Amino acid sequence: MIPVVKGNLETIQQAQDLLDSLDDSSYCHICTPHINSSIGQHIRHIIDNYLVIVNGFSKKHIDYNLRRRGAKVETCLTTAKQELNNIKQWLLTLSQEALATPVTIVSEVCLEEEQSDHLVSSLHRELIFVASHCIHHMALIGVAVKLQNLETPKHFGLAPATATYVRQQESLNTVTS
């Protein structure tokens, strides 16, 4: 399997595994004052970044400004699971040739005024970005889960390189014990 596809599938599976352990209340709960967004809002953001790629790829124009807010997926676990599954199915269709496809990226870059920047990238590069961004949000979700006295899957919200480091440290500790 293509490494970037495998990594994205693993990341999405990690989110799905967590969602399988939640109920609607914990999915929608906002742990104020520590966090201002629910797990569902973070999941919506993760899904939206993938959907921008899925929907924009055929036009070779990926506009990260075109994300939903307040969508049903923020409050409905079933919708979130289905949308994540749809993204996984799309990822499984990708080839090396598709990953090399040049795409134009659009994203707002200023906080004080509306101003977007444009650049040329590739589907491959954008999948690396979206997986990394997903992991960042999963780390925040992990805090929300723990604030609700719930458990996260092993290595939840860890970057792949960090997970590798942790495994190496565990292996070293096993050898020296």
Structure tokens, 121 = 């990238």
Q: Report percent pLDDT > 90 for the chain.
A: 85
Span 39-63, pLDDT tens digits = 999 999 999 999 999 999 999 999 9
- In this structure, are strands 102-108 and 61-63 parallel, antiparallel, or unpaired? parallel
Reduced to 3 states (helix: H, G, I; strand: E, B; else coil), residue 107 is strand
- For residue 42, the model assigns a pLDDT of 96
Going by pLDDT thresholds of 50, 70 and 90, the confidence category of residue 16 is very high
Check: CB of residue 145 under 8 Å from CB of residue 35: no
Mean pLDDT of 104-127: 96
Output the pTM of the full model: 0.92
pLDDT at 117 over 80: yes
Contact 79, 101 (CB under 8 A): no
The rounded distance, in Å, linking the Cα atoms of 140 and 44 is 13
- The pLDDT-based confidence of 95 (bands split at 50, 70, 90) is very high
Q: Is the pLDDT of residue 155 over 90?
A: no
Q: For the domain 3-176, what is the CATH superfamily, name and number?
A: dinb family like domain (1.20.120.450)
Among 148, 149, 169, 147, smallest CA distance to 158 is for 169
**Are 35 and 137 within 8 A, CB to CB?**
no
